[in-house]
Amino acid sequence: MSTQLSNKFRYLLAQKIVDFANDTFKMVLMGTGFTFSPSTHAGYADVSGSELATGNGYTAGGVTLTGVTITQDDTNNKCKITWDNATWSASGGDIGPVCGAIIYDDTLTTPEADLIVGFIDFGGSFSEPDGGVATVSNIEVDL
């Protein structure tokens, strides 16, 4: 898995508008064929049309990410933001196929509503069969 950050996120982070400790962050699953653009995908509205549709245990708009941790990584010379795993329980049919996930800041309304932090590329598409639990683990943004 690889993560790409949005340009608008980088800009608003530098402006001290994003607050990892207090804002609410969500994750949505993206349908196959989605291609992330760091320069044009700034807010959730820019990508919502490619999000997986509500059904079979998935709800459009995503799940709230919990357990945010911010650490300084002097070994790799970066700052790491991590969250607990995100899960969806497939019920009534398969969840997917999906190609990746978007993380967005659900707190911000201005200057960009629902600011996209970035896209996690799964490196292929997958589906979670009925009765299974789709899990995105090791959720991390490196700065």
Residues 59-116: tens digit of each pLDDT: 999 999 999 999 999 999 999 999 999 999 999 999 999 999 999 999 988 888 999 9
Smallest Cα–Cα separation from 18: which of 120, 80, 106, 83?
106
Identify the band that residue 3 occupies on the pLDDT scale cut at 50, 70 and 90.
confident
Residues 6+ apart with CB under 8 A from 112: 8, 12, 42, 43
Cβ–Cβ < 8 Å for 142, 9 = no
Residues 17-61: tens digit of each pLDDT: 999 989 999 999 999 999 999 999 999 999 999 999 999 999 999
Structure pTM? 0.94
* Cα(89)–Cα(131) distance, integer angstroms: 7
Residues 131-143: tens digit of each pLDDT: 999 999 999 999 8
pLDDT of residue 1: 60
pLDDT for 2 beyond 80: no
b/e map 78-106, b = 16+ CB within 10 Å: eeebebeebebebeeebbbbbbbbbbbbb
Domain boundaries, the chain: 2-142
